[in-house]
Amino acid sequence: MSGLRQAIGYDGWVVEDFSTELPLQERVRDNLAYLREVTARVGIG
């Protein structure tokens, strides 16, 4: 399994968004921006 995780770039992070108010593409974009900001602020990104 680790070979597959490495091949697809999985690093142990799992994030789920069960909201449905925005289209999936917008949710993914916004969630990714949020995670990048948070990880940059705490020094792990």
Q: Considering the entire predicted model, what is its pTM?
A: 0.63
Q: Other CB atoms closer than 10 Å to residue 38's CB: what's the count?
A: 11
Q: Give the residue extent of every domain in the chain.
A: 13-45
Phi first, then psi: give them for residue 5, nearest 5 degrees.
-60, -40
CB-based contact 15:35 (threshold 8 Å): yes
pLDDT for the residue numbered 2: 65
* Chain segment 1-45, per-residue pLDDT in tens: 567 667 777 777 777 889 999 999 999 999 999 989 998 999 886
Amino acid 15: pLDDT: 78
